[in-house]
Amino acid sequence: MKLNKSIGIFIITLLFASSCKQGPKIISTPVDEGSIEQSSGIFSEDNNVESSSMSNSSIASGVHTVTVEEVLPTSKYVYLNVKEGDESFWIATLKQEVQVGETYFFRDGLLKTNFESKEYNRVFETVYLVSNLVLANHSNSSALSQNSTKPAQNSASSSSKMIDQEGSLSIAEIVENPTEYVGKTVQISGACVKVNPNIMGRNWIHLKDGSKDDYDLVITSDIAVPEGQIVTMTGVVTLDKDFGAGYKYEIIIEEGKLVQMDQ
C-alpha cells in the first residue's frame, strides 16, 4: 500500500511539474486574407489569433505612434510596414488612404503568424490586425480631406445647398463665436460626411451644413449615424478638448443626441 501511494504521489508530482513548464501556445497554422472577417468595421478574432493585445510581443499594448514606411493595398485591406522607435513591423487594417512618411496612431492589435497574402503571393511571419488607424493630425480640418470619405448622398448635400433646420444653429455661428456657446447645449443640423465608430466608447460624427464647409466640426455620440445621412442633433459645446491619441479639438460638441434623421 505504501509503495502504491508513493508511486501515485510521484506521478502527480511529474504531471504538475510538466504543466508548469507549458507556456502560452502560439498558433502558427498558415492563414490567409480570406480568414479575416469584418464585423462593424472591426477585425474579428479567430482560432489563429494569438491574443487580444500585443502583450506576448516586444511591442506593449496600448496607444502606438508609428510612421509608415511602406504601403501594400489590397481589395479589402491595406498592409503597412511601420516604425515605432527603433522597431519595424507589419500591421494590417481596413482599406483606406494611407501616406508613406505620415504619422498615425493605433491602439492594441491582434497578432497573426504565418499570414498569407494571396494578392501579393507572400507570407508575413507576423502581422498585427488593427481596428482603427488614425492620422496624427486628424482632428484638423485638413486631415479630413486627406482621408477617403464618402460624400453625402442626400439631395440636400452640404456641398450643393445650405442645410437650414428650424431651431438649429449653423456651424458657422458656432465656429465664429465659440465662447458664446461653450458649456451650452445647442442644436445643429448637417450632413454626416464621415464617421469614426466605437473609439473610446463614442462615435465621432463629422457634420457639414454648407455654412462653413472648410471646418471639420465633430459631434461625439453613442448614436450610430450612417455616412451621407442628414441629421439634427443636440450636444454640449466644449473648447480645447484633448482626449489623447491625436483626438484634440479646438471646438467639439459632446453628448450628442438625435433629434431627427431625414429618410
CATH classification of the domain holding 202: 2.40.50.140
pLDDT tens sequence across 195-239: 888 777 888 899 999 999 899 999 999 988 888 899 999 999 999
Q: What per-residue confidence (pLDDT) applies to 29?
A: 41
Residues 159 and 90 in one domain: no
Distances in Å between the Cα of 249 and the Cα atoms of 124, 190, 216, 218, 234 are 37, 19, 10, 9, 18
- Going across the sheet that includes 134-135, the strands are 31-32, 110-117, 122-129, 87-94, 77-84, 63-73, 103-107, 134-135
53 shares a domain with 159:
no
Last residue of a domain, one of 88, 113, 135: 135
Examine the fold and report which residue of 135, 151, 168 is the final residue of a domain before the chain moves on.
135
Residue 23 maps to a domain:
no
- Considering the domain architecture, whether residues 169 and 206 belong to the same structural domain is answered as yes
- Torsion of the alpha carbons at 151, 153, 157 and 158, rounded to the nearest 10: -30
Average pLDDT over residues 229-250: 88
Same domain, 155 and 229: yes
Classify residue 225: in a domain, yes or no: yes
Q: How far apart are CA 139 and CA 243, in angstroms?
A: 11
pTM recorded for the entire structure: 0.50
Tens digits of per-residue pLDDT, 95-119? 888 889 998 888 777 888 888 888 8
Q: What share of the chain is helix, strand, coil (3-state, %, to 5)?
A: 15, 45, 45
Q: Are residues 230 and 212 in the same domain?
A: yes
pLDDT at residue 163, rounded to an integer: 84
Check which CATH number belongs to the domain holding 99 and give it. Answer: 2.40.50
pLDDT over 50 at 84, yes or no? yes
184 with 121, same domain: the answer is: no
Do 109 and 165 fall into the same domain?
Answer: no
Q: Which of 218, 253, 257, 258 is nearest to 236 (CA)?
A: 253
What's the pLDDT score for residue 159?
45
Strands (E), the chain: 31-32, 38-39, 42-43, 63-73, 77-84, 87-94, 103-107, 110-117, 122-129, 134-135, 185-199, 202-208, 217-221, 230-242, 248-261
For residue 120, is pLDDT > 70?
Answer: yes
Same domain, 149 and 240: yes
Statement to judge: residues 69 and 117 lie in one domain: yes
> Are residue 146 and residue 222 in the same domain, yes or no?
yes
pLDDT at 148 over 70: no
Considering the domain architecture, whether residues 157 and 178 belong to the same structural domain is answered as yes
Q: Is the pLDDT of residue 4 over 90?
A: no
Number of domains in the chain: 2
In a domain, 190, yes or no: yes
Q: Is residue 8 part of a domain?
A: no
Find out whether 235 and 252 touch, Cβ atoms under 8 Å.
no
Tell how far CA 51 is from the center of its chain.
18
C-alpha distances in angstroms, 204 versus 45, 50, 195, 200, 254?
24, 30, 6, 10, 9
3-state secondary structure at position 215: coil
DSSP 52: S
**Does a structural domain hold residue 103?**
yes
CB under 8 A, 24+ apart: contacts of 20-24? 24/50, 24/51, 24/56
242 inside domain = yes
Instruction: Decide if 183 is inside a domain.
Output: yes
Q: Is the pLDDT of residue 187 over 60?
A: yes
Residue 122's SS3 state is: strand
Residue span of the structural domain in which 204 resides: 141-261
Together in a domain, 146 and 248: yes
CA distances in angstroms from 64 to 85, 93, 103, 175, 196, listed in the order given: 10, 14, 10, 31, 18
Which of 81, 106, 135 lies at the terminal end of a domain, its last residue? 135
In a domain, 17, yes or no: no
